[in-house]
Structure 1
Amino acid sequence: MNYQSSLEFLFQALPMFQRVGASAFKKDLSNTLKLCAHLGNPQNKFKSIHIAGTNGKGSTAHALASVLQEARYVTGLYTSPHLKSFRERIKINGIEIPESEIVNFVKAHKVYLLELKPSFFEMTVALSFDYFARMGIDYAVIETGMGGRFDSTNVINPILSIITNIGFDHEQFLGDSLDKIAFEKAGIIKEKVPVIIGQSQAATTEVFQNKALEKVAPITFADQSIHARFNGYSEDSDGKNRVVYEIEGTSSYIKKVHLDLLGNYQSKNLPGILASINILKSQGLLIDQKQLFAGLANIVANTGLKGRWQTLSTNPLTICDTGHNIDGIQDIVAQLLTLKNDQQLYMVLGMVKDKAHDKVFEKLPKEARYVFCEADQPRSMPAEALKNLAAGFGLKGTVVTEVNAALAYARGKAKPEDLIFIGGSTFVVAEINDL
């Protein structure tokens, strides 16, 4: 087998939520446990940090991995979904898993995989654990996929659990209320393992407190003692623009950080990130202030993170972001409106079928000009249908089906001083040629 045929085996022979939706979702960890046992339980051969949440878990995972790398720990990072390459999901010190590792894994275990019939996600998780264990990493930062309790990553026994926030997303699988969704995410809380809750929410606090009590797990609500306040932008000595955050609170020993993730919504993630570093240091990890600052200032360079408030070009300023649920879109719109004065805002938008479209449309600015598109993906909402739905909310625009053609159309209409945003779905961002 070569790399391409190995990928085809992963993508086509096995169900995958990213492509087929509900049929790939299993409320059962048995396949992952069997597969890990077949591999010699690699998940028990390294220390791990487990992260769940509706929004912010990817940014938090990459931030912590970056800090650990700066502290000279060999750091594995498992995230999903990928944007451009499957190999983005599995990294060590920011370097993607080699093609040969994927080929060898499929070759060595193909017979067993055909017999067990695990999902794409179950097999990818096992592949990452096996790779991390064989490479002898110090720590792994593991991001859950959709939920927590039945997420395939939930076979690890981490040294720290983190839940970033709870919002409405994947309600058909996780529940139709915040407390039900929180219950699923709380499934990553383990016996006597500290847990950080990034954002306090009235509807979810009791859920997390009860689960932590049940598991005798020390619980910290990060935003109750650490606050991050946006304080503008700076051009640092390396010539790169970064966001400056003032840090306040009794649990923070630093007063200011520079972050290379430019979305203002990172202010919601920073308390959880800083509280997590405090816990890790209390467990004996050696992370000094200089390494912490460098890790937060160089997340993109250290980990290769893409698609988080990423500038694609200027004149006109063109920004993409993978935020796709109600809370994510609301944060994106809020920041876009701070950038827009008298300029025209163009929104190049595509979404998947199984989202709460009406709730998202309620958050979108009516004065924007919309270009509706669709990613080349079975779960995508047809662009024409998206336009028709949006019209009912006073959102007007045109249809240009292919993602890059839609972006080119917006650029052709926009003046140099105007503002273009492209997103609405991770799949849309993944297809941008400029990314």
Structure 2
Amino acid sequence: MEHQSVQLFTRFKLTQARYKSKIDWLFHQFPAFQKQGGIAYKPGLSHTKKLLNHFNLDITKLKAVHIAGTNGKGSTCSFLSSLLTEANHKVGLFTSPHIFDFRERIRIDGAMITQTEVLDYIEDVQALKLDFKPSFFEITFVLAVKHFLDQGCDYCIFETGMGGRLDATNVLQPVATAITNISRDHTEFLGNTPEAISKEKAGIIKANTPLFIGKKEAHSFPIFESKSKKKDAILHVNQNQYPFEGLPKYQKENFNLALDLFDFLSKRKSHPDNVEKALQHLEQNTGYGLRLECVAESPKLYLDVSHNDVGIQKSIEYAKNQTKGKLYIIFGGAKDKVYSDRTLEVLDNTQSSLCLFSNPRSKSKEDWENVIRLLENEIPVFSNLREATAQIKSKLSEEDTLLITGSFFLISDYKPSFW
């Protein structure tokens, strides 16, 4: 019995080592936006189509929902997935980026793809004689398609990686598309104005396929309306106003959009029991978490992955409204991020600290010092999240709140032992 336990443990350790080796190869062999930023961006659909053909994958067999937007697209994907799971459907969910484990990107009813499936697939990719170099995202997307087809999913919910028109996911032939909201992000690829970005996002609109949007925005609605007419795609503007408890205002908008999609897919109005269960079992059904999640009380600790101006400002506003005492912020950012005057003003007028993270895309101390020169107040810069959390926690009263925000990468450095 003891010998068998040793064998199992040894086999487990070998699998873990092999898995880590293959994931490292995946990150380093091909560009990955999560590690390298803009140089990893490969717009266009030809590589994705070729890779799908190499694996003989028929994308038309997926009953897919394709969701784009600047903020809220990942939340909307997760909300819709949970609603469908609670309605007894088998649901594939593809989102990005991951926080702790690559497999978070690909789930069915909340269960991550297995290490064995990832290992086998990467080895198959390594064995292919390709005349092109697919990107990390293209490889990962095709793995999701393969997994969902192999497992016979009823519905598959896909979040775009960046933009829409030239995103790898845009090879999908979905039964519905959705766009959450539009603001400035990834401007070096998608354009410098909300209108230009809207045109890129509108690229996911398909012929005779309904488009769902959360609300009419002056800079984006005329573009979506025009493109929908050209494509004979019926445009639905969200009308749901479900009375939620405990969700931030902006998340209510995302959930109501998900409800619109669910009602269309199921051809019936959502039952209140199904809605409540979808929210109650959200993490179990989708793995969704760490998007403005309160993980401790007295004092409160919020972990949040907002990483552009609009999302960051909304998270700070929400956290301020939830605290009885002072709000403290630990803020991290990627090297290529430029923040608006409004975001800098909010940080300048809050008990804020800046923090580096372990991912190579982190702003350096010198980068942050250049930002600080634009502010009125001196803001400390910490070299790692453990140090920042320890120092700030020592200052907090039971009525205070600490918000850690600004980047997926900063949150991925957090460990419960820090608190």
TM-score (norm 2): 0.91
Note if contact 2:263-2:269 (Cα within 8 Å) is conserved in structure 1: no
Compare 96-105 and 369-378 and name the one that shifted more: 369-378
1:431 aligns with 2:413: yes
1:13-24 matched pairs, under 5 angstroms: 13-24=29-40
1:162 aligns with 2:178: yes
Note if contact 1:347-1:369 (Cα within 8 Å) is conserved in structure 2: yes
Separation of aligned partners in 1, 2:214 and 2:137: 26
Note if contact 1:361-1:390 (Cα within 8 Å) is conserved in structure 2: no
Note if contact 2:345-2:375 (Cα within 8 Å) is conserved in structure 1: no
CA positional deviation for 1:182: 0.6
- Secondary structure of the residue aligned to 1:220 is strand
Structure 1 pair 307/31, CA: closer, same or farther in 2 (3 Å)? same
Structure 1 pair 410/209, CA: closer, same or farther in 2 (3 Å)? same
- Residue aligning to 2:258: 273
Structure 1 pair 215/264, CA: closer, same or farther in 2 (3 Å)? same
Q: Deviations over 1:164-216 (max 9, x none)?
A: 00011101110001111011111111110001011311011111011111111
- Residue aligning to 2:240: 226
1:142 aligns with 2:127: no
- Secondary structure of the residue aligned to 1:357 is coil
- Residue aligning to 1:373: 355
1:290 aligns with 2:273: yes
- RMSD after superposition: 2.0
1:73 aligns with 2:89: yes
Q: Deviations over 1:68-122 (max 9, x none)?
A: 1111111100000000100000001100000000111122231226643200000
- Residue aligning to 2:380: 398
CA positional deviation for 1:398: 1.3
Amino acid in structure 2 at the alignment position of 1:148: G
- Residue aligning to 2:6: none
Note if contact 2:312-2:405 (Cα within 8 Å) is conserved in structure 1: no
Structure 1 residue runs of 4 or more that deviate by more than 6 Å after TM superposition: none
The answer for unaligned runs of 5 or more in structure 1 is 228-246, 248-255
1:35 aligns with 2:51: yes
More strand by share: 1
- Secondary structure of the residue aligned to 2:170 is coil
Separation of aligned partners in 1, 2:154 and 2:129: 28
- % identical aligned pairs: 35
The answer for unaligned runs of 5 or more in structure 2 is 1-14
Note if contact 2:298-2:399 (Cα within 8 Å) is conserved in structure 1: yes
Q: Deviations over 1:288-327 (max 9, x none)?
A: 4422331133212321112111112222211111111111
Among 351, 354, 360, the alignment partner of 2:333 is: 351
- Secondary structure of the residue aligned to 1:413 is coil
CA positional deviation for 1:10: 0.8
Separation of aligned partners in 1, 2:159 and 2:107: 12
TM-score (norm 1): 0.87
Separation of aligned partners in 2, 1:6 and 1:362: 40
Q: Deviations over 1:218-266 (max 9, x none)?
A: 00121xx334xxxxxxxxxxxxxxxxxxx3xxxxxxxx3456xx43421
- Secondary structure of the residue aligned to 2:328 is strand
Structure 1 pair 97/124, CA: closer, same or farther in 2 (3 Å)? same
- Secondary structure of the residue aligned to 2:402 is strand
Q: How many residues align?
A: 401
